[in-house]
Structure 1
Amino acid sequence: MKVAALTMVYRDYWALAHWYAHHAAQLGAESLYVVAHGPDPRIARICPGASVITVPRDDLQAFDRRRGEMLNAFQAGLHRMYDWVIRTDADELLLWDPARYGGLKEALAAQETAPVVTALGFDLVAQDGDPGSGRLFARRRNLCFSGHYSKAVAARRPVGFVLHGTQVAARRLDGFPFTMPRGLYLAHLKYADPEALSRAVAVRMAVAGGSEGGLPGAGWRAADADAARFLSDFAEKPVKPWEKAETRAREALSVKPARLEKYAVVKTRALKFPHRTVLPERFAGLCPLVA
């Protein structure tokens, strides 16, 4: 079974290095496709052996819409050569539970009938006292589950990923299958490294402060306040054992997806949870060490 992974990046080097290391270890660097938003030779150095495609960054008008349309078209093309195509942001890693699957390909192969899989998502958050070195999931283990980041992440045929969900023909909206497999997770790394977070916040605020129409909205314009609010809220959440927190999140998010008639999109409901948890030690070896 052939599986590709696709992402797009602008300057998020810390996250990209982990995206590359994690997915290259599972799929091979030759099956990774990185869209660089503007010329940046550093990306090829971070991702040796991957295909790096550079697209212009001279016009940010309608940024989100044009980006999504381009990635959907590229993803559709990859389906001509791959059985599954994974697509995430550069600060998102597709994980599997080692107690359930032997690897990423095995996790996808188990979804024999699903046209699209949605992963249970969580924000991985750095904490004071975390180890300063080592594999990512050995030194960063505190997290909270998120409906917002429980996204459509992999497809076995051409579909459009829109608003974190799957866009379908309007006539299929009510009956399109929604599959969130047990033991498949999307780790969002935005808050996993304080220095990388500071750089990412600065980039977002600069982009959103432009004069073009259709730029990202308030969440990017006030990215610093948004990040501070998230971290403050996270610190106040009580800690639940993984088994209880994971079960509650999965049971809430794996059923009754939102079916948005306006966009013909099937997606996870954007639920939030009042607790946080700790990633089990068995996940510690999933992402290779990044220098």
Structure 2
Amino acid sequence: MNIKSFFIVCISMLFFTCDTPKKYNVTGVIKEIDKDQNKLLIDHDEIPGFMVKMVMFFNLHTSVDINQFSVNDSVKFDLIIKDKNSYSLNYDIIGKSKISTKEDFWEDDEDLKYSLKEAGDSIDNATFLDVNNKEISLSDFKSDFLLISFIFSKCPMPNMCPAAIVKNQYLSNHFENENINFLLISFDYLFDTPEVLKSMYGSLEKENLHFLSSYKHINDIFTLSQQAGVAYWGVEENNIGHTMRTLLIDKDLKLVNTYDGMDWRPSEAKKDIENLIKIYY
């Protein structure tokens, strides 16, 4: 190979190893406008080849005037994904979504507190006990994201609570260098004291993987489970049954996505979190 050919090959390699941005076309409805941080909370449709339908914040490019938007605007725009950041631009306002409200003549604030939350809604800052018997609230983790699963220690079904623990272990290992915490909260508020959880799961705990007890925090587990759409019963009778759902929430405790049932795959959550990291930060 002569010097000229070698030079051309080197230049070609340089271009191919550069950070090549990817562009995606997105359609959605604006749910919140954050002028301080120049970003929009958008309930977006599926982004083919990139992300499922969910509600999330999008950073605006400096060329976009945030003052042109209103809540419930239906918009189309381009999402640009780079290696370490992202931004959105080329917005078209294509209509106005009907304003949905949860308020009802018969509902008061207390009713709304226990209502099922949807993507984009805020989750209450519930407080539980860690395995060292210290109170800790969801906001105390100061995470970019929290993944929350519900378990109880006497669960006899290997494809339910034990499987949820394994999935969270896998994800916590994968994201150990990110500011993300994985919480496994027991809804057995009678048996699963901090001491019980520590004896059973203490060896599994790590910097970003935590087991939390609802012992003496019945209202917190009731509120969180109602907002999450997780049902449990039979605690008082020592004959517990429950449904399964895992929540992904952001640093502002807004619900981003849910993973339902026993068969959700950690690869789904892994892909979602990786994409969210690119978009949020």
TM-score by length of 2: 0.22
- Choose 1 or 2 for highest CA Rg: 2
Structure with the largest fraction of helix:
1
TM-score by length of 1: 0.22
Structure with the largest fraction of strand:
2
Tell which has more relative contact order, 1 or 2 (C-alpha 8 A, sep 6+): 1
